[in-house]
Each structure stands twice: as C-alpha cells, then as structure tokens.
C-alpha cells in the first residue's frame, strides 16, 4: 500500500505495471521548467488520475513547494486513503516519494488547466486538472 501512496503524488513505483488506462500526451502540451510548474500548481487543489497502475487511482491533492509535500486523499480501487508524500525536484523533473522510498520523477507538461506527469519512456503517468 505504501508504494501506491507514494505514486499518487507524482510518481509511480509500479512503472512496469500493466498500462490499462493509457492516454496520449496532447500535441499542444508544453514541457515546462520547475519554476513554470510551481507558478501553475503550487498550493492549488488538483484532481489527479493515475494511469499506469494495476488499479484505477484518482485523487484530490495539493502540491506545496513551501512544505515540500503532496497531500490529500486518493481513491485506490475503491478504497480511500490519506496521501502525504515528499516533493522534490531533480533537474527538469518533479519527484515524489514515501518515507524510506526512492524518489520517482517525471517530466511535467502543461496544456490548458491540465498538467501531465510523463515518464522517461514518454508514456503519461498521470493527468491532473488544476482548480
């Protein structure tokens, strides 16, 4: 369960899981710097859909640069859980990890009111709507 908790923020620990809920990155989505991402999402409520886990995962989260956390509630296959993961950055990637876990990092793309967390293989990990 801890693996799922850390993935809800921004990253999946189960990157090799079956991609049942695949989505394409929109052609108009722009890869952003972490400063641009901060201006877009810091402190705002975000509705998240994680696409690359074995179970459907949706969440209502807040990304806080000041606190260095991603917090909120997630529905993991019909079970509600509390989310609190560490938020860090590595170059042009946003990273999250649960206590004692390795950070999982993704590129961030923005299109309209949505941001996309994108894996190194360019598959979309999660789609988040700000507001």
| pLDDT tens for each residue of 81-120 | 999 999 999 999 999 998 888 999 999 999 999 999 999 9
- Report the CATH fold assignment for 2-22+31-130: Lipocalin (2.40.128)
Placement of tokens 């921004």 in the chain:
10
Q: Is the pLDDT of residue 65 over 70?
A: yes
What backbone torsions phi and psi does residue 50 show, to the nearest 5 degrees?
-90, 130
**What's the pTM?**
0.82
pLDDT tens sequence across 12-44: 333 333 445 678 999 999 999 999 999 999 999
Domain boundaries, the chain: 2-22+31-130
């Amino acid at each position: 369960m801890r693996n799922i908790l850390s993935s809800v923020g921004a990253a999946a620990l189960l990157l090799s899981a079956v991609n049942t809920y695949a989505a394409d990155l929109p052609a108009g989505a722009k890869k952003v710097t972490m400063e641009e991402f901060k201006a877009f999402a810091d402190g705002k409520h975000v509705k998240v859909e994680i696409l690359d886990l074995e179970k459907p995962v949706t969440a209502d989260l807040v990304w806080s640069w000041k606190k260095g956390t991603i917090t909120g509630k997630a529905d993991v296959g019909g079970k509600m859980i509390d989310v609190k993961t560490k938020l860090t950055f590595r170059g042009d990637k946003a990273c999250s990890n649960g206590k004692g876990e390795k950070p999982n990092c993704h590129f961030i793309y923005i299109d309209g009111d949505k941001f996309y967390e994108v894996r190194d293989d360019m598959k979309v990990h999660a789609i988040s709507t700000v507001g």
